[in-house]
């Protein structure tokens, strides 16, 4: 069910604590458009977007969200200009290098999904350090989707399953949805309850195609750099009005 911001409730209505989505996934769209609209280079949009990431993580933790997944860099994003890709790789490293200790102090665990082997060595080291430093944190899981594409994830999962069948680790008769899920990058994580996409686009963009099968989708016209507490509350309150029947 796609929910647009026109359905959103008044901010005067209180968030119901026990109905806060456990897992929120974000497609953080609109950084470049935000910069263009402000007559700035695209670099400014990404830097402003990082500030939004910090605020959204803080807000989600305060509202009791247990997992936040951020679609940070897709398998298709490699097609962007080399200088833009380089900027993003450096920006991801900078964020992890400067924020890991703060995340650890706030009891936030850093995880990742995606094919990390293709990332620059510096970024891979930053990711590994952040994961190691925060591995015992429990208040919130921060999942960074880096070089992530759902079709790539599913393809890698199928290869893993076929390989284990050939090795005799599992048999064809063992195949179930649960088993397939265990081969995905998100193994061990709860599927998202709510997907929020900013900047008005109405597509999934190869993001968590398996995991989003019963996820509520909320689309806002607000660009990611302008996404704030008011926008998050609109999404959560609208989610709380949904009757999630899971096909029943």
Helix/strand number for the chain, H first, E second: 7, 7
82 is catalytic: no
Element housing 61 (H / E): helix 42-63
User: Which of 11, 29, 82, 107 is flagged as catalytic?
Assistant: 29
* Orientation of helix 82-105 relative to helix 121-134, angle to 10°: 20
For CA atoms 152, 153, 156, 161, the dihedral sign is negative
Which residue bears the tokens 């005799």?
A: 168
* Catalytic (active site) residue 77: yes
From 11, 37, 77, 129, active-site residue:
77
Which contiguous run of DSSP H or E holds residue 86? helix 82-105
* 237 SS3 class: helix
Helix (H, G, I), strand (E, B) or coil at 146: strand
Residues noted as catalytic: 29, 77
């Amino acid at each position: 069910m796609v929910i647009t911001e026109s359905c959103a409730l008044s901010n005067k209505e209180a968030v119901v604590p026990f109905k806060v989505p456990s897992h929120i996934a974000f497609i953080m769209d609109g950084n470049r458009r935000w910069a263009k609209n402000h007559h700035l280079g695209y670099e400014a949009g990404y830097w402003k977007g990082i500030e939004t990431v910090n605020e959204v993580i803080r807000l989600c933790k305060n509202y009791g969200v247990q997992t936040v997944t951020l679609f940070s860099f897709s398998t298709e994003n490699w097609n962007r200009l080399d200088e833009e890709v380089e900027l993003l790789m450096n920006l991801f490293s900078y964020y992890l290098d400067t924020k890991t200790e703060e995340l650890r102090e706030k009891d936030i665990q850093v995880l990742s999904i995606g094919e990390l082997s293709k990332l620059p060595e510096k970024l891979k080291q930053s990711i590994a350090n952040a994961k190691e430093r925060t591995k015992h944190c429990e208040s919130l899981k921060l999942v960074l989707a880096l070089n992530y594409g759902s079709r790539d994830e599913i393809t890698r999962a199928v290869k893993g399953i076929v390989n284990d069948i050939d090795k005799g680790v599992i048999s064809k008769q063992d195949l179930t949805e649960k088993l397939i899920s265990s081969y995905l990058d998100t193994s061990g994580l709860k599927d998202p309850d709510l997907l929020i996409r900013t900047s008005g686009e109405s597509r999934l963009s190869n993001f968590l195609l398996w995991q989003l099968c019963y996820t509520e989708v909320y689309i806002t016209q607000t660009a990611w750099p302008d996404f704030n507490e008011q926008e998050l509350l609109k999404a959560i309150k609208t989610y709380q009005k949904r009757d999630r029947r899971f096909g029943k």
